[in-house]
């Protein structure tokens, strides 16, 4: 795996057992993240409940919470974000 080689090259001064510990720790982190995602798919009820909660918030609770608030002025933020995206994508394309 690419991260495995980079991890070992960064820790050249470490003993072999320390490198193995760091690699096993990274593998455990990846395994825990994967288990969390798969736990949502253990039964069809969980995705249905998450989808129902999302739809309830979008169509009922969200508009009720926002009805007395002014809209944010985000034009400057969005222009800056788009410029950063253009610059980074140009760099990636040239690279």
Residue matched to tokens 């788009």: 82
Q: Note the pTM of the prediction, 2 decimals.
A: 0.46
Separation CA 77–CA 82 (nearest Å):
9
Question: Measuring CA to CA, which residue among 40, 1, 44, 46 is closest to residue 24?
Answer: 1
- pLDDT of the chain along its 95 residues, tens only? 455 555 555 555 555 666 666 677 776 676 666 666 677 777 889 889 999 999 999 999 999 999 999 988 999 999 999 999 999 999 999 98
* Two tokens, residue 87: 């610059």
Question: Measuring CA to CA, which residue among 39, 5, 38 is closest to residue 23?
Answer: 5
């Amino acid at each position: 795996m690419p991260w495995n080689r980079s991890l070992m090259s960064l820790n050249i001064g470490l003993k072999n057992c320390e490198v193995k510990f760091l690699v096993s720790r990274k593998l455990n982190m990846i395994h825990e993240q994967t288990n969390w995602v798969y736990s949502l798919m253990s039964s069809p009820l969980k995705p249905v409940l998450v989808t129902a909660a999302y739809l309830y918030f979008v169509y009922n609770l969200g508009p009720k919470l926002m009805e007395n608030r002014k809209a944010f002025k985000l034009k400057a933020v969005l222009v800056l974000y788009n410029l950063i995206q253009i610059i980074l994508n140009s760099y990636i394309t040239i690279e």
